[in-house]
Amino acid sequence: MSGNRKIKITDTTYRDAHQSRMATRMSTDDMLPVAELMNESGFWALEMWGGATFDSALRFLKECPWMRVRKLREKIPEPGFMMLLRGQNILGYQHYPDDVLEAFVHATVNNGVNILRIFDALNDPRNMEPAIRATKEAGGHAQASVVYTISPVHDVEHYVETAKTLAGMGADTMCIKDMAGIMTPYMGYNLVKEMKKAIDIPIHIHSHMTTGMALTTYIKCIEAGADIIDTCISAFSGGTSQPATETAVSILEDGDYDTDVVLDNLTEINRHFTEVRGQYDEFFTPADIDVRGLIYQVPGGMLSNLRSQLRAQGMGDQWDEVMEEVPRVRKELGYPPLVTPMSQIVGTQSVLNVATGERYAVKAKEVRDYVRGLYGRPPAEISEDVRKKIIGDEEVLTDRPAELLEPGMEKAREAIKDYMQKPEDALSYALFPEQAMQYFEHRKVHGE
């Protein structure tokens, strides 16, 4: 119907959906049979790269991650290709030098991934600005993100102010990224309403069905003015993944909205992915609803990791103590959002505090780096007392962390000169030296 507001749909089947429910194991060969249908289904974009896919391709699939982009692009010229980029962390867990980031972003856009969703675990805009700038220079679409979490300092104002800063840096669209699926529909509504007043770029909502709310949250956010949502094909939807595309499109088109999505195509696409998931049984996780994220305000994935960590250390009976310690440590560390790598840092330190019986007697290296400012600016002040316990009188870095780093591209090229087949190989090595080298060895014998 004309006059209806157009809602754009990004399908995440090729990235977040199988990362969330199938341990990121889908191979390019399993993506290609429905590529033409994906091309013709009216999606604004396909999220198909970044996150854990790069590492997983090299490590488990022995695939060149750059080859995946080219093969998919050949068959899918129409929709945007989106990737998830961890700001200055690119696709890894630490900060990379600016020259590596810039080279990576340019190669990404040149290979056909034209929308870069950029986030930082601390919502520190300084860690996103170089990626936004490089994306624009390369001719790509820079989507900045705010990571959604719950804490006394993460109020509507925090997100709106961060969004304003990021829009001022040249972001083309703004994503509210709720990786734990804990943004309630009414919180989402208020947040989008206020953000809409403050910035004039489209707002994209990303959530997960983990606690069962994401689809409802999408609808409320759309009512408040959100422009784009993330969904995936039903075979991979639900649980820790996104809501189903088929369901979301049907709901919207019955209201005062249009999507361009061609529902008829999705039946065939879903048939294919239902078959694919059957071949990866050992990696497939059920689509259960897990409300622990709402009760503990700790993402479900982090709870599962903590539980196995405790069991492995014979601390299974100290679960309750650790569950009390996690929010305490998080508060003392200035309320970092519990997303990679902060979820691991807070989790590990909490376990150490309980295990030793003396808080901060033993410190993880990463927690020291975090307190020294090497990850960026914490959302709130770190407790003075705890800072002293962790780093004593050591100086705290107030500059952007990557300023400290030596350039890395020349070194990477030098290190792999006997293996280099394409310029992108140096980037694979700069990001994941060990996995890339193993892949290059494999490629020497078996070819691409």
Q: Which is nearer to Co ion, 284 or 419 (CB)?
A: 284
Q: Choose the binding region for Co ion from 36-44, 63-71, 139-147, 179-187 (rule: CB under 5 A).
A: 179-187
Contact between 55 and Co ion per CB under 5 A: no
Which residue, 339, 409, 395, 393, is CA-closest to 150? 339
Contact between 16 and Co ion per CB under 5 A: yes
- Least distance (Å) from Co ion to the CB of residue 83? 12
Q: Choose the binding region for Co ion from 10-18, 123-131, 243-251, 395-403 (rule: CB under 5 A).
A: 10-18
Tokens representing 105 are 């972003």
Q: Where do we find the tokens 């500059």?
A: 399
Cβ atoms of 287 and 21 within 8 Å: the answer is: yes
Angle, CA of 255, 256 and 262, to the nearest 5°: 75
- Least distance (Å) from Co ion to the CB of residue 322? 25
- Least distance (Å) from Co ion to the CB of residue 165? 22
- Least distance (Å) from Co ion to the CB of residue 285? 14
Q: Helix 319-332 vs helix 342-356: angle between axes, to the nearest 10 degrees?
A: 120
DSSP state, residue 341: T
- Least distance (Å) from Co ion to the CB of residue 208? 6
Q: Which is nearer to Co ion, 108 or 207 (CB)?
A: 207
Q: Which is nearer to Co ion, 18 or 400 (CB)?
A: 18
How many angstroms separate the Cα of 356 from the Cα of each of 199, 326, 353, 360? 48, 15, 6, 9
Q: Which is nearer to Co ion, 51 or 79 (CB)?
A: 51
Residue in the shown chain whose Cβ atom is closest to Co ion:
16
- Least distance (Å) from Co ion to the CB of residue 281? 23
Q: Choose the binding region for Co ion from 28-36, 172-180, 330-338, 418-426 (rule: CB under 5 A).
A: 172-180
Contact between 369 and Co ion per CB under 5 A: no
Tokens representing 129 are 């600005």
d(C-alpha 420, C-alpha 415), whole Å = 9
d(C-alpha 207, C-alpha 213), whole Å = 9
Q: Which is nearer to Co ion, 110 or 297 (CB)?
A: 297
- Least distance (Å) from Co ion to the CB of residue 311? 27
Tokens representing 32 are 């290609």
Q: Choose the binding region for Co ion from 11-19, 181-189, 192-200, 392-400 (rule: CB under 5 A).
A: 11-19
- Judged by CB under 5 A, the number of residues near Co ion is 2
Q: Which long-range contacts (CB under 8 A, 24 or more apart) does 168-172 make?
A: 169/125, 169/128, 169/129, 169/132, 169/133, 169/144, 170/132, 170/133, 170/136, 170/142, 171/118, 171/132, 171/142, 171/143, 171/144, 171/201, 172/141, 172/142, 172/143, 172/201
Q: Which is nearer to Co ion, 179 or 266 (CB)?
A: 179
Q: Is 168 left (phi over 0), alpha (psi -120 to 50) or beta?
A: alpha
Q: Which is nearer to Co ion, 179 or 402 (CB)?
A: 179
- Residues at the site binding Co ion, with contacts judged by CB under 5 A: 16, 179
